[in-house]
């Protein structure tokens, strides 16, 4: 099976702009989670989608939003970018919501805001 | 709310020496515990996990972790490290109530020749 793919891999944006990141989960996986990774902060959970519904949400402002499509692909959108949004954004998929399933991570999208 | 603490942000160790990476989590009725490894410019990969049963779990590349319920710890150990083990290691807890994965801030293991 192909792994989790994320596009684009690298992105440079200017403050105030918006950005959309894409994630394709492993075939058959219905749960997709998004994380923000910054040095010293580790992975901060953004949200999780399962069967097109947001099931969990982290403590991020409303500028961060996401959605999931019927084929389980997911997009994350950040509006009105700030310098502090510069980070590696990781997407992870798993077989089910809840339970002991491990998450499979994509390589991430590195976003730089100037 | 559930939290995960990795006290050591960086751990330098010489090749073939033993290493322990510490992980503590806040108490919960039921949790699943994971260690993930991140090599440079890559996403995270599962190293090992504890779900239930034997408190000692092992990975295929020589790492092991022990679940200690009374100390709410899940420390990762390897008796003899290799240069190729240089990476960042993340401890994670999946809360059985909220289903959220909570990650620690990571420990950067640097193996020195």
Q: In this predicted model, what pLDDT tens digit does every residue of B68-80 receive, in sequence order?
A: 988 899 999 999 9
- For residue B20, give the H/E element and its range: strand B19-21
> Would you state the pLDDT for residue A33?
94
In a 10 Å sphere around its CB, with 0-12 CB exposed, 13-18 middle and 19+ buried, how is residue B5 labelled? middle
Mean pLDDT score, B17-29: 89
Question: Is the confidence at residue B65, as pLDDT, over 70?
Answer: yes
Q: Is A39 on the interface with B (CB under 8 A)?
A: no
Do residue A105 and residue B43 have CB atoms under 8 angstroms apart?
A: yes
pLDDT at A56: 87
For residue B55, what pLDDT band results from cuts at 50, 70 and 90?
confident
pLDDT at B30: 73
pLDDT of residue B29: 65
Q: What is the pLDDT of residue B76?
A: 97
How many angstroms away from the CA of B76 is the closest CA of chain A? 17
Per-residue pLDDT at B27 exceeds 80: no
Q: Residue with structure tokens 């779990």?
A: B57
Q: What are phi and psi of B83, to 5 degrees?
A: -55, -40
B7 vs A: CB within 8 A: no
Q: Looking at residue A113, what is its pLDDT? A: 97
Lateral strand order in the sheet of A19-24: A5-7, A19-24, A74-78, A64-68
Give the distance from residue A88's alpha carbon to the nearest chain B alpha carbon, in angstroms: 10
Q: What is the pLDDT of residue A17?
A: 98
Q: Identify the pLDDT of residue B77.
A: 97
A105 and B CB contact within 8 Å: yes
pLDDT score at B11: 97
Write the burial class of residue A11 (CB in 10 Å: 0-12 exposed, 13-18 middle, 19+ buried).
middle
Cα–chain-centroid distance for residue A98?
18
Residue B94 has pLDDT above 90, yes or no: no
Whether B47 contacts chain A with CB within 8 A: no
Question: B interface mutation test: which of A2, A21, A23, A42 has the most B CBs within 10 A?
Answer: A42
Beta pairing, strands A109-113 & A87-94: antiparallel
User: What stretches in chain A show pLDDT beneath 70?
Assistant: 97-100
Burial of B1 (0-12, 13-18, 19+ CB in 10 A): exposed
In Å, how far is A89's CA from the nearest CA of chain B? 10
Predicted confidence (pLDDT) at residue B40 exceeds the cutoff of 90: no
Residue A103 DSSP one-character state? P
Q: Who among B6, B34, B41 is closest to A102 (CB)?
A: B34
Contact flag A4-B46 (C-beta cutoff 8 Å): no
d(CA A112, CA A68): 24
* Nearest chain A residue to B33, by CA: A100
Report CB contact under 8 Å: A43, B103.
yes
Q: According to the model, what pLDDT value does residue A40 have?
A: 75
Provide CB contacts within 8 A for B51, sequence distance 6+: A100, B32
Evaluate whether A14 touches A114 at the Cβ level (below 8 Å).
Answer: yes
Helices (H), chain B: none
Of B43, B51, B104, the CB nearest to A90: B43
């Amino acid at each position: 099976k192909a792994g989790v793919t994320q596009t684009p891999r690298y992105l440079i944006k200017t403050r105030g702009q918006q950005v959309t990141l894409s994630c394709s989960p492993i075939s058959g996986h219905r749960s997709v989670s998004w994380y923000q990774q910054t040095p010293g902060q580790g992975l901060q959970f953004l949200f999780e989608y399962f069967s097109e519904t947001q099931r969990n949400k982290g403590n991020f402002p409303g500028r961060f939003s996401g959605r999931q499509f019927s084929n389980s692909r997911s997009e994350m959108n950040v509006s009105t970018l700030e310098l502090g949004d510069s980070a590696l954004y990781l997407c992870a998929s798993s077989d089910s919501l809840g339970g002991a399933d491990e998450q499979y991570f994509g390589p991430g999208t590195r976003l730089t805001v100037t | 709310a559930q939290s995960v603490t990795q006290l050591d942000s960086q751990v330098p160790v010489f090749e073939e020496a033993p290493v322990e990476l510490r992980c503590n989590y806040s108490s919960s009725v039921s949790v699943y515990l994971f260690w993930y490894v991140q090599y440079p410019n890559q996403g995270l990969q599962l190293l090992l996990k504890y779900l239930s049963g034997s408190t000692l779990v092992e990975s295929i590349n020589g790492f092991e972790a022990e679940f200690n319920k009374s100390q709410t710890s899940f420390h990762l150990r390897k008796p003899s490290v290799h240069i190729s083990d240089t990476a960042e290691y993340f401890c994670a807890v999946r809360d059985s109530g909220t289903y959220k994965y909570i990650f620690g801030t990571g420990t950067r293991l640097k193996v020195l020749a």
